[in-house]
Amino acid sequence: MNIKIVCVGKLKEKYLKQGIAEYSKRLSKFCKFEIIEVPDEKAPEKLSPAEMEAVKQKEGERILHKIKDKEYVYALAIEGKERSSEEFAAELEKLGTYGHSDVTFVIGGSLGLSPVVLKRAQTKISFGRFTLPHQLMRLVLTEQIYRGFMINNGSPYHK
C-alpha cells in the first residue's frame, strides 16, 4: 500500500518533525509512506470572505497537482465523519483489499480546504470538533495511520 499525506505549509517545529520521523520509520514496515508539502498562500490577518476563498483556491490547485487520478483521497475536514481508531483501521484494510492501494490524505492550510479539493475526496474525515494547528495534525494523522496498521496486525500497541 502507498500512503501519502499532502499538506499545506512547511513544518518548522523540531519536536513535530521528530515525532513524524519516528512514525514514518515505523510505517515503513507496512507501506510506502510519504509527506508532500505544498506552499501556503501568503495572506494578511484580516481577509474578506472573497479573499479567503481565493487563498483556499490557490492552495487547492497546488494540492490537486500532487494527487493522481487513481488515488483514493481522504480530506481532513471538521465536517467529516469521526471514526474510532478501530473503524479507521478497518477502512484502511478494506481499501487495500478492494484495490485502492494508493491512499492520500489531505490537510489544508489555516483557512481549510477549497471546495474543489473537498469534491475530489472520496471521504471526509474528522478528528473531532477541536481546532488543531495543521502542523500538529500531521503528527496526529501519521500516528493514527500507524495505529491502524498495528490494529490490523493484532498488535497490543493500540490499547
At residue 1, the pLDDT reads 94
Mean pLDDT of 26-49: 93
pLDDT at 42: 86
Q: Is 108 annotated as a binding residue?
A: yes
pLDDT band, residue 158 (cuts 50/70/90): low
Check whether 37 has a pLDDT greater than 70: yes
Grid cell at residue 24: 514514518
Tens-place pLDDT, residues 78-88: 999 999 999 99
Helices (H), the chain: 14-27, 49-64, 85-97, 115-120, 134-152
CATH architecture assigned to 2-153: 3-Layer(aba) Sandwich (3.40)
**pLDDT tens profile 59-75:** 999 999 999 999 999 99
Domain borders along the chain are 2-153
For 3-7, 25-29, 95-99, which range has the lowest pLDDT when averaged over its residues?
A: 95-99
**pLDDT of 159 above 80:** no
pLDDT at 87: 97
